[in-house]
Structure 1
Amino acid sequence: MTTSRTTSRHVLFAAPDRIEIDETPVPDPADGDMLVRVRRVGICATDLHLLAGHIGEPFPLVPGHEFVGEVAAMGVAAGADRGVGVGDHVAVEMSLPCRSCPRCREGRYNLCDRDDPAAGLDRGRQYGVNIPRTVAPGLWGGYAQYLTVPAEAIVHHIPHHVPWDVAALAEPLAVAYRAIARAGVRPGESVAVIGPGPVGLLTAAAARSAGAGRVVAVGTRQNRLDLARRFGADHTINGRERDVREALVDDAGGLCDVVIEAAGRVEAQQQAVGLVRRGGRVVLAGACGAGASVTFRADEDLLTREIDVLPSFLSAGGFEPAITLLARAELPFAALVTHRFGLDDVAAAYDVIERRDQDVIKVVLDPWSTDGFTRS
C-alpha cells in the first residue's frame, strides 16, 4: 500500500545548536514494517540536551521520541503481526529492541545491548535519540510528518476517543509507571515525588493508581504543585518556602516509604535519599545530562539506613497501564498540555520551555500545523 505523500517534512538537528527544516522521501513499508503519520510529539528535556550536544554525537538527527499517530501504510505481514490496521491510532515505544540479547530476553528491553554498526551504535537503538537521519530510510524521529516502524518496534493501540494532545502523554506516563514498578509500590504505602514537571505530575497519578496511601509532591513552582493535587497528591511542599524534610515530618505524615526523583537535577537526587524512611526505596528517574555526578554519604545516607537506590530508565512495561489510564479520562490530562507549535516553530517552543514562560507545563508539536503557536 502506498502513502499519500512522497516526502516527509521534519525538524533536523544538523549539528549542535543548529536546527533546520528538511524533507526526506517516504518509501513504501517493507513486508513487516509500518508507516505512521505523526499527529503529535511531545517535547522532552532530553531533546534540548541532544541539541546542545550533551548526549553523544548523533547528528544529523531527527529528534522526538514522545510521538503518537495513525497508521498510514503497512507491509503485507505487518497487520497480522501487530493487530492494528491502516487508520488505527498508535503509540510506538522509543526503544527498538533486538529481542534476542540477554537483557531483552529477561524483559529489560530498555537496556538492549544490540550493536548496530550502520548507525554507529554499540548498544540499543532509540527513536529520536541515537539513530542518525543518514540511516535509511531516515524516518527515525517524531519531529516529522511520517515515521517508519520496523518489525522489531513495539506498537500499542490507542482508543480513538483519546484526543491527540492527551495521547501524546503516553510515553511520559509510561516512564512514570516504570518508576512506580521499579519502586515496587504496594497498596497503602506513602510516596513522595520530587519535581512536579510533566513526568512528576504523571508519577503522582501513577502512584495513586497503584494504590499508594499517601502521595506528596515536592517542588518549587506553586502552580505545578497546585496542579499536582488534581493528579492525586494529598500534600504539596514548596521547597522555596519550607525545609522539605521538616515539612514532610511535621505536616505530611512523616518520611515516605518510597521517594521518586523526577526533576533531572543532581540536587534533587541527593535530596531524595534524605526524604525516605529507613529501609525505604528511592527511584532516580530524571536524566541529569551526560557527565553529571551525584554524591551520597556512604554510611549516614545509605549503609546504616539500608535504603534501596534504584535508577529507572525509559518506559519498558509502562505503556499498557499508561494508555489504560489515559483512556479512562478520570484525570484532567488535557490540562498538562499548555502549548502546541508547528514544526517551523521549534526554536520558539524551546525558548518558552527554557524561560519557563507563560506557565508552561507540557509542549507538543503538531507536524501538520501551519498556524504556529496555539495555546492548548
Structure 2
Amino acid sequence: MRSVLVTGPGTTEVREVPRPECGDDDVLIAVKACGICGSDAMYTAVGGIPPRQGATPLGHEPAGEVVAVGRNVTGIGEGDHVVVNPMAAIDGIIGSGGAQGALSDLIVIREARAGVHLRVIPPHVPWEVAALNEPMAVARHAVNRTSPKPGDTAVVFGAGPIGLGAVISLKLAGAAHVVAVDLVPNRLEKALAVGADAVINSAEEDVAARLAELHGTARAGLVSGAKPGTDIYLDAAGAPAVLETALASAKHGATLGIVAVHKRPASVDFGRLLTTELTIVLSMGYPSEIFEVTDDLIANWEKYALIVSDTVPFGRVREALTLAATPGAAEKVVVTF
C-alpha cells in the first residue's frame, strides 16, 4: 500500500510499504480522509521524530471505513465509518512518532476497543469533516483547561482550525460572549459563521480597547486601574504579540490558556502580573476529549465543514503538504482517498 514518510530534513516520499495484517483483536481501516496539521510541517522540517528519524510516517487526523474486524472485537463492523484516537494506538501515536501514519491507504488498530481507540459515526458525515475530529478534540481540551463557566466572556487569538474549534467549544460550554482575533479577514468571517459573537482585526484595531467596549472593564489587580472585563484569553496563534496583548490586558483573576506552539522562548514579567493573580494554563493533546467532540461534529457537520479550506486527493499529497506548510496559502487542508 502507499504511505507518506519523512525520509530526511525537508523531504517526504510516497512509498510502497507492506499492507498491515488484521489480527483477532484488531480493526483494519481504509483511510478516506486525513487532515494535515502544522506539526506535520515541523516533523518534515527536522527530518522526522526520533527514534524513527528519517522514516517517520505522517498523518494523525484520520477518518475511514472499516474493512476487516478481528473475531474478538465487539461494537465495530465491516463497513462502519469511524474516527480514530491516534494517541491511544499501542504501537505509538499514529503519525507522531508511532509505527503508522494515517497518510496511508490503510491503518490497523491493534487490540481495538470501541469508544477507546475508535468510534463509529453515521455515513452522512462527509469524510473531510469527520477528519476534523482530532483537531477539534485538541481545541476542546484547550477550552476545558481554561475551566469556562456559563456567562463567562472570552477571546480567542488565532482563527485557524484550532481557534475556530475553541470558539465552538466555548459557546457549547456556556460562554456568554466570545471574540475571535486574527489578521486575516476570511478567517474572521469564518469565526462569525461558526458562532463567534464578535471579531477583531488586530492589524486595524486596538485589541484591548475593543475588548473593553465588548466586555466592559474590571479591576486590574490589587492596585488601582481598569482592564477589559474578559474572563478567558486563549492563545491559538503562537505569536509573541498575542502573549504581550493578553498579559497586558488581563484583569484580576482572568485565565490565560495557551494551546499554540510557540517556536521561540517568550519573556514574561511576572512581577508586573503578580497583583492580577492571573491563572496561566497550558494545553497539549486530548486526554479525554477525543470523542467528547464527536456528537457535536455529527449534529453540526455543516458548521464544521466551514473550517476545511482545501481538499486534495492523495495522488497530490505532496502538493497538499506544501500548501498546508505555506503561510497564508490555506487554512485547513484535508487529503482525501
1:168 is aligned, of 100, 109, 131, to 131
Shift of 1:73: 1.0
Is 1:346 the equivalent of 2:317?
yes
Alignment equivalent of 1:362, drawn from 327, 332, 337: 332
What CA distance in whole angstroms lies between the structure 2 residues aligned with 1:186 and 1:42?
A: 31
Quote how far apart the aligned CAs of 1:56 are: 4.1
Letter in 2 for 1:43: I
Aligned residues: 321
Aligned to 1:52: 45
1:144 alignment partner, SS class: coil
Provide the residue aligned with 1:145 in structure 2.
105
* Deviation per residue, 1:214-242 (Å, 9 max, x gap): 10101111111111011111111111011
Cα shift at 1:356: 4.3
Superimposed CA distance per residue, residues 255-290 of structure 1 (whole angstroms, 9 cap, x where no aligned partner): 31111111133443443333432111111111234x
Distance 1:66 1:60 in 2: 19
Conserved? CA contact 1:194–1:272, under 8 Å: no
Q: Is the 8 A contact 1:266 1:293 kept in 2?
A: no
CA offsets, 1:183-216, max 9 Å, x none?
1111111111010001101110111111110101
Partner of 2:271: 299
Q: Which amino acid aligns with 2:39?
A: T
Letter in 2 for 1:296: V
- TM-score normalised by length of structure 1: 0.80
Over 3 Å counting, the alpha-carbon distance change for 1:324 and 1:275 in structure 2 is farther
Q: Does structure 2 retain, via aligned residues, the 8 Å contact 1:176–1:318?
A: no
For residues 119-134 of structure 1, the aligned pairs below 5 Å read 125-131=92-98
- Report the RMSD for the aligned CA atoms in angstroms: 2.1
Is 2:264 the counterpart of 1:264?
A: no
Distance in 1 (alpha carbons) for counterparts of 2:9 and 2:289: 31
- Which residue does 1:314 correspond to in 2? 285
User: Which residue among 326, 344, 347 is the counterpart of 2:297?
Assistant: 326
TM-score normalised by length of structure 2: 0.89
Q: Quick one: which of 6, 13, 17 aligns to 2:6? A: 13
Q: Is 1:207–1:215's contact at 8 Å kept on the other side of the alignment?
A: yes
Q: Gapped runs of 5+ residues in structure 1?
A: 1-7, 99-118, 120-124, 369-376
Q: Cα 1:97–1:283, aligned 2, differ >3 Å: closer, same or farther?
A: farther
Q: Which amino acid aligns with 2:158?
A: G
The aligned residue for residue 219 of structure 2 is: none
AA matched with 1:272: A
What is aligned with 2:200? Answer: 237
Amino acid at match of 2:58: P
Q: Which runs of 4+ in 1 moved over 4 A?
A: none
**Number of the residue aligned with 1:65:** 60
Percent identical among aligned pairs is 31
Q: Look up the match of 1:113.
A: none
